Amino acid sequence: MDGAEILARLGERFGAAIRETHAQFGDHTAVVDRAAIGDVLAFARDDAALRFDMLMDLTAVDYLTYPGREDGPRFEVVYHLYSVTHNHRVRLKVPLDEDDPVIASAVPLWPIANWFEREVWDMFGIGFAGHPDLRRLLLYEEFEGHPLRKDYPVNRRQPLIGPRT
Amino acid sequence: MPEMKGRTPVTAGASTLGGAPPESAPASAGRRQRHELFLGEGVPESGTENLLVNVGPSHPAMHGIVRILTELDGEVIVKADVEIGYLHRAFEKECETGPYNNCMPYTDRLNYVSPLINNFGFCSAVEKLLGIEPTERCHYIRVIMSEISRICDHLTCVGASAMELGAFTVFLYMIKAREYLWEVIEAVTGARLTISYGRVGGLKADLPPEFEGQMKRAFQETRTVLAESHKLLTGNRIFVDRMRGVGALGKDEAVAWAVTGPLLRAAGVPFDVRRATPYWVYDRLDFEIPIGEAGDNYDRYLVRMEEMEQSMRIAEQAFTALPGGPVNVDHEGRPFTPPAEYVDRGKLGKTGGLLLTDIRLSPNLRGQERPYHARVNAADRRTVLPAKENAYGSIEGLMNHFMLIMDGFGIRPPQGETYFPVEGANGELGFYIVSDGTDRPYRVRCRPPCFPPVAALPVMVEGEMIADLVPTFGSVNMIGGELDR
């Protein structure tokens, strides 16, 4: 299935929940409503024609300082799906507002989402509702803030933490 | 906000490892509580107590720094948890702070055993954003160098795994073969590990004249070592007993955990980015994708051994098919103009095509006697840093260099986002880059290939013996640099 057909199939199934689609640089992308993302991911995984059985990557982008998007939703959670069965790819993006950066967890669908989501929580402070164990992955628990947010200064120092007593 | 789960490190008390635990040990409330703080598994019904063992973060078999917390019942791992992040260097944040070319040295340090693949993967992602296509020759050289890197990576992985099972000879042999390959890499890039050889739109330099002989010799040595290692390991009773049926990850599980690369192929899924979504010139080369059946450590070992042979095949084919004529001509087949003549032409006002003509200088800068880089760089000169001899030797080269380095100039892809996957040594290595139209990437995300297998490590080791943790962890081939970024 080529990218345009994938987007069309998602569009006809979910209608307005798919806010927009594009195929920039040949990467087919759908922007999905936060409320629908759980269903969209489940459909993408289980539908026989799509069968996206692999969650290749899950990350986020902070659009705080992006030109032209200063007033829009601040975060975007980005899913890269791949189908081993059909050998096709798609990218799903979910915009999130700054005051309520929480999205449904994908752990029930793919176990690997556990670590990906922990990393996103660690780096961006985006919460995942239904995640079984959402703690920091790369940084230590005492770390303050979320470093990949655009308002986190690149040169901020935090105290080194000694062994816990 | 979801609740953060605290974790209290627990030191193992009286060792019950190996011996039978005392029968009458009362499962007191205090102890029970201590266990629940750790991994949530309580005291078993028998009244014996599970033992908590920290493997790592600094341990000879941990290939870097990673901590595996294990809860043991006797010698069997009941539960395991992996703690990573000890090598976190803020790769993604640092990439946002400088121009695109500044990311190149950071990508070297992602998978430091096969840095060339990271370099080229990042370059290709930026090229996709820019919409430029490097030359054929560049593609072929990228393929050759990537495959050499892949062999280095597999040699390190298999050699280290074998060493941890006692086969030190194999480790030495494999490191010897890797040494020959690294000599080739050194001759091409000027460095052994931190090579920074990729350039957006091209390469730092072309292959040196002695490349063919060196590569042939290195491959010959590697093949000898592979044959020797096959004899030493493949039928070796101790090795097979330790590897077969251990650390297995089934087909569906591996896919659900997004495991790619040799681990997925060992489970019987023939997914390889080079074949699934061919990039560069992989679709013109003939190679096979070895797959296993059981997905255990032994199959992973066999897959890696076969992949090294396939990589050599690819590199040899690519070198045979390498486009371009004799070495001392530029991209149009013209011989290079000597510097004096070049200057004379400039004095006469014949400046047409000057940038296309390379000059050859011989001051003391090493490595600048390679004037044929022009054939590998993209036609769009606005992206590729000029060779140092041009930057230092001609005003056009200096201006070209300056325009790429100056703040606010340089490579400025259009606004947008792209994801470019390549087949790294451990699986799919993807770069997701968001551009805001300036000369700095807005966001660089690296999808590290060894991240999913390490996440799936508890699934592989739970229910197995503590001693099997080492070969399983070795076969995962964790590379701290790309795992923690």
Tens digit of each residue's pLDDT, chain B (485 residues): 444 344 333 333 333 333 333 333 333 333 333 334 455 455 555 667 778 888 878 777 777 788 888 888 888 888 888 988 888 888 999 888 888 888 888 998 888 888 999 999 998 998 888 877 777 788 888 899 999 999 999 999 999 888 888 888 999 999 999 999 999 998 888 888 888 888 787 787 778 888 889 899 999 999 999 999 988 888 888 888 888 888 888 888 899 999 998 999 999 899 999 988 888 889 888 888 998 888 889 999 999 999 999 999 999 988 888 876 332 333 333 444 444 565 666 667 666 655 554 444 444 444 444 444 455 555 555 667 777 777 777 777 777 777 777 777 777 788 889 999 999 888 899 999 999 888 889 999 999 998 999 999 999 888 888 888 888 888 888 888 888 88
Tokens encoding A127:
């919460």
A87 chain-B contacts, CB cut-off 8 A: 276-277
Summary mean pLDDT of chain A: 88
User: ∠ CA(B1), CA(B457), CA(B246), 5° rounding?
Assistant: 160
Q: Which residues contact A148 (CB under 8 A, 6 or more apart)?
A: A60, A62, A123, A124, B92, B93
pLDDT at residue A77, as a whole number? 93
A70 close contact with B: CB closer than 8 A: no
Considering the segment(s) B91-325+411-449 as one domain, its CATH architecture is Orthogonal Bundle (1.10)
pLDDT at residue A8, as a whole number? 87
Residue A83 gets the label, from left (phi > 0), alpha (psi -120 to 50) or beta, of beta
Tokens encoding B297:
């450590």
Is the dihedral angle over the CA atoms B176, B180, B181, B186 positive or is it negative? positive
CB contact under 8 A, A56 and B277: no
In a domain, A32, yes or no: yes
- Spatial separation of the C-alpha atoms in residues A16 and A14, rounded to whole Å: 6
Nearest to A138 among B257, B277, B484 (CB): B484
Nearest to A53 among B255, B434, B451 (CB): B255
Helices of type H across B60-102? 91-95
CB contact under 8 A, A139 and B456: no
pLDDT at residue B237, as a whole number? 87
Nearest to A25 among B8, B129, B276 (CB): B129
CB contact under 8 A, B447 and A57: yes
The range of the structural domain enclosing residue A68 comes to: 3-115
pLDDT at residue B353, as a whole number? 56
Helix B469-476 × helix B297-321 angle, to 10°: 20
- B357-to-B226, B348, B354, B380 alpha-carbon distances in Å: 44, 16, 5, 15
Closest residue of chain B to A81, computed from CA coordinates = B258
CB contact under 8 A, A111 and B436: no
Cβ–Cβ < 8 Å for B203, B126: no
Q: B134 vs chain A: nearest CA distance in angstroms?
A: 16
CB contact under 8 A, A138 and B9: no
User: ∠ CA(B454), CA(B458), CA(B461), 5° rounding?
Assistant: 110
pLDDT at residue B44, as a whole number? 54
For residue B177, give the nearest of B142, B157, B151 by alpha carbon: B151
Q: Which residues contact B6 (CB under 8 A, 6 or more apart)?
A: A141, B37
Cβ–Cβ < 8 Å for A92, A81: yes
In a domain, A150, yes or no: no
DSSP-assigned beta bridge partners for residue B58: B65
Name which of B447, B462, B476, B482 to mutate to probe chain A: the one with the most chain A Cβ atoms within 10 A of its Cβ.
Answer: B447
Name which of A24, A57, A142 to mutate to probe chain B: the one with the most chain B Cβ atoms within 10 A of its Cβ.
Answer: A57
A residues 78-97 lying closer than 8 A (beta carbon) to B: 78, 80, 84, 87, 89, 91
For residue B478, give the nearest of B119, B82, B120 by alpha carbon: B82
Beta-carbon count within 10 A of B188 CB: 26
A154 close contact with B: CB closer than 8 A: yes
- Spatial separation of the C-alpha atoms in residues B408 and B426, rounded to whole Å: 36
pLDDT at residue B351, as a whole number? 60
A108 chain-B contacts, CB cut-off 8 A: none
The number of domains in chain A is 1
Nearest to A67 among B92, B436, B445 (CB): B436
* Tokens 């940038």, residue located: B355
In a domain, A20, yes or no: yes
Q: What is the mean pLDDT of residues A16-38?
A: 88
DSSP-assigned beta bridge partners for residue A102: A127
- Spatial separation of the C-alpha atoms in residues A125 and A127, rounded to whole Å: 6
CB contact under 8 A, A139 and B418: no
User: ∠ CA(A74), CA(A77), CA(A80), 5° rounding?
Assistant: 150
Cβ–Cβ < 8 Å for A56, A81: yes
Helix (H) or strand (E) holding A96: strand A88-96
CB contact under 8 A, B428 and A135: no
Instruction: Please state the three-class secondary structure of B394-433 as a single string.
Output: CHHHHHHHHHHHCCCCCCCCCCEEEEEEEEECCEEEEEEE
Q: A5 vs chain B: nearest CA distance in angstroms?
A: 18
CB contact under 8 A, A111 and B92: no
pLDDT at residue B477, as a whole number? 87
CB contact under 8 A, B416 and A114: no
Give this prediction's pTM.
Answer: 0.81
How many CB pairs below 8 Å do chains A and B form together? 118
Name which of B3, B37, B87, B88 to mutate to probe chain A: the one with the most chain A Cβ atoms within 10 A of its Cβ.
Answer: B88
Q: pLDDT higher for A165 or B193? A: B193
Tokens encoding B209:
């004249």
Q: B90 vs chain A: nearest CA distance in angstroms?
A: 8
A residues 102-131 lying closer than 8 A (beta carbon) to B: 102, 110-112, 114-115, 121, 123, 127-129, 131
pLDDT at residue B361, as a whole number? 46
pLDDT at residue B204, as a whole number? 77
Secondary structure (3-state) at B53: strand
pLDDT at residue B174, as a whole number? 92
A134 close contact with B: CB closer than 8 A: yes
- Spatial separation of the C-alpha atoms in residues A51 and A40, rounded to whole Å: 12
The domain that holds A26 is classified in CATH as 3.30.460.80
Long-range contacts of B190-196, Cβ-Cβ distance < 8 Å, separation of 24 or more: B190/B366, B190/B367, B193/B108, B193/B112, B193/B115, B194/B105, B194/B108, B194/B109, B194/B112, B194/B115, B195/B108, B195/B115, B195/B116, B195/B119, B196/B104, B196/B105, B196/B108, B196/B119
Helices of type H across B64-167? 91-95, 103-108, 115-130, 136-164
Q: pLDDT higher for B348 or A130? A: A130
pLDDT at residue B432, as a whole number? 93
Q: What one-character-per-residue DSSP string does B253-288 give?
A: HHHHTT--THHHHHTT----HHHHS--TTGGGS---
Beta-carbon count within 10 A of A160 CB: 7
A131 chain-B contacts, CB cut-off 8 A: 2
Tokens encoding B347:
């004095």
A55 chain-B contacts, CB cut-off 8 A: 258
Residue type (1 letter), B415: Q
Pairing state between β B202-203 and B198-199: antiparallel
Side-chain-facing half-sphere of B211: CA atoms under 13 Å? 22
pLDDT at residue B154, as a whole number? 92
Residue type (1 letter), B27: A
Sketch the domain layout of chain B as residue ranges. 91-325+411-449
Cβ–Cβ < 8 Å for A5, A30: no
Q: A53 vs chain B: nearest CA distance in angstroms?
A: 7
CB contact under 8 A, B276 and A87: yes
Whether a cis peptide bond, with omega within 30° of 0, leads into B57 is: yes
Q: A104 vs chain B: nearest CA distance in angstroms?
A: 12
